[in-house]
Amino acid sequence: MAAARLLAVALSLGTLLLLVGVFSVSGAEELTTNTSSSSSSPQLSPVLATESKAESAGARRPSVEQELDAARAAIRRAARRRHGDGGNVSSAAPEWFHRDDVDYVLLARVYRNPAGFYRSYVEMERRFKVYVYGEGEPPILHAGPCKDIYTIEGRFIEQLELITGGVRTWVPARAHAFFLPFSVAKMVKFAYRPKSNDKTPLLSIVADYVRVVASRHPFWNRSAGADHFMLSCHDWGPEASRGDPELYANGIRALCNANTSEGFRPGKDVSIPEINLYTGDTPRQLLEPAPGLSSRPFLAFFAGGRHGHVRDFLLQHWKGRDPDTFPVYEYDLPSTTGNGTTGKGARGPDRQRDYFSYMHRARFCLCPSGHEVASPRVVEAIHAGCVPVLVSDGYAPPFADVLRWEAFSVSVPVADIPRLKEILERIPTAEVERLLDGVRLVKQHFTLHHPPERLDMFHMILHSVWLRRLNFRLNQ
Ligand SMILES: *[C@@H]1O[C@H](CO)[C@@H](O)[C@H](O)[C@H]1NC(C)=O
Ligand SMILES: *[C@@H]1O[C@H](CO)[C@@H](O)[C@H](O)[C@H]1NC(C)=O
Ligand SMILES: *[C@@H]1O[C@H](CO)[C@@H](O)[C@H](O)[C@H]1NC(C)=O
Ligand SMILES: *[C@@H]1O[C@H](CO)[C@@H](O)[C@H](O)[C@H]1NC(C)=O
Ligand SMILES: *[C@@H]1O[C@H](CO)[C@@H](O)[C@H](O)[C@H]1NC(C)=O
């Protein structure tokens, strides 16, 4: 711990600059090794190499901007066709939508523009390249947590950096976007003094990192950060991004904590799902087939802590009030094995089994904001075949430029918590069935695979970045 603290101080005092200076040798090596097969001279500095590559490449391959233009045109054509043929997306997206188990009415309900999305996704697979800055060292750079509540920070970095043949390019001239591979969760672990509430070390690390990449490469200054992105699931991700004013104002910030009252801008930033993988794997119970509506006796279910004002309000109103149809617990979830209750803070397999068994027996799963707007319950509910009920204010849910959340979830403003039961009771069974069809359809987008698979959470996050880099609105 002392060593970590020492490292933390060193990092927070701007020594990162120094560290990066030392390690930059390896960064330069990567670049030259991986470009030596191309026509440019490995002796050139990265800056010059990039420029000369861009020029010599111009003759052979379309420029990055030309590629983006071509992609925009293709997506626009596909998106328009929707209007032309009365919503027949099967003609526009044959491989993807020609599945026996998917009906087109459902697709048109769940996706804002199925054909447009399909085209955009395929264009992304065909073209999108991300350059990952090599500067910096683990644990704070190039690594992140791969289990528990901030799983996505580590998994995203790992999948982007390690999976070969993917979206990563080693040639910055071919990149459409540039990734800043830091983990705010790791910064908090190594650079934050517990209970100090002093977040300046996090802001300093972000500031240092941007300063380093902006001084060593031409790309940041070229766009003032607009084609750069970061990703953080930690509550303090948005705060840390303030470390560099251009990152905050122009950069694409992929965040779990997507609170529009705290500067999250849905057109520029990317909302990402929070997924809590206690062990690093999707819990077994959630992989089992979800029970149908008829074996779900509860209208809705919640169990969790009194974190923040939304939870407080929810528990005040509903805790213990109607356990037979509307079970709401503050940690004290009754054990399904007759062992009393699984106590406060209990995690382990027992607590998880009980928790998911409730999710499997409820039609709706309440997903109130905690200290921050996002809740891992949304992903858990989707996997448990339970309609998520987003109880929040100012939350921009993930992938909303592609998905119609109203087709597979219910949104309730915090002020309506007292009417929650009434609101849910009024939804007719046929509509609940429709919502569940939606839940089943979108599940693939909220699943993490290793290695990543088509249309999974990793790729949906990338697709969100791609859309913002294209500056293309699919949802119009
Ligand atoms: C060069 O790129 C490949 C992926 O194309 C990567 O596996 C390899 O590690 C890179 N080389 C260096 C020296 O980093
Ligand atoms: C939709 O397009 C497919 C493929 O072109 C075609 O087979 C099908 O008949 C069309 N459906 C409607 C309702 O137009
Ligand atoms: C980018 O701008 C910063 C601030 O003006 C400057 O210090 C840095 O040297 C510039 N980077 C490059 C590669 O010119
Ligand atoms: C209680 O929990 C333990 C451990 O999970 C289990 O072996 C046992 O069967 C449970 N039930 C009772 C009634 O003790
Ligand atoms: C969202 O941000 C606003 C403004 O800072 C804050 O009042 C609110 O509590 C935040 N929401 C949650 C759930 O934390």
Cβ of 336 below 6 Å from ligand 4? no
Order of strands across the sheet that contains 362-368: 328-329, 298-303, 362-368, 387-391, 410-412
Strands (E), 139-189: 168-169, 177-179
Residue whose CA is closest, atom 5 of ligand 4? 350
For ligand 4, the distance from its centroid to the CA atom of residue 339, given in whole angstroms, is: 6
In which residue ranges of the chain is pLDDT below 70? 1-61, 81-102, 164-165, 336-349, 475-476
pLDDT at 474: 75
In sequence order, which residues have a C-beta less than 8 Å from that of residue 187 and are 6 or more positions away? 140, 201, 202, 205, 240
DSSP-assigned letter for residue 124: H
What does DSSP say about strands 333-334 and 328-329: parallel, antiparallel, or unpaired?
A: unpaired
Our mutation pick for probing the ligand 5 site, out of 235, 239, 261, 310, counting the most ligand atoms within 8 A of Cβ, is 261
DSSP assignment of 336-368 equals TTSS-EE-TT--HHHHHHHHHHHHHTEEEEEEE
Tokens describing residue 335: 């054990």
pLDDT at 282: 85
pLDDT at 6: 36
CA atoms within 13 A on the CB side of 22: 5
Cβ of 348 below 6 Å from ligand 4? no
Our mutation pick for probing the ligand 3 site, out of 45, 50, 217, 221, counting the most ligand atoms within 8 A of Cβ, is 221
Other CB atoms within a 10 A radius of the CB of residue 283 amount to 19
Stated as kind and residue range, the H or E segment containing 333 is strand 333-334
Q: Which domains does the chain have, with CATH numbers?
A: 2-51+128-271 (no CATH), 65-118 (no CATH), 284-446 (3.40.50.2000)
Bridge partner residues of 131 (DSSP): 169, 178
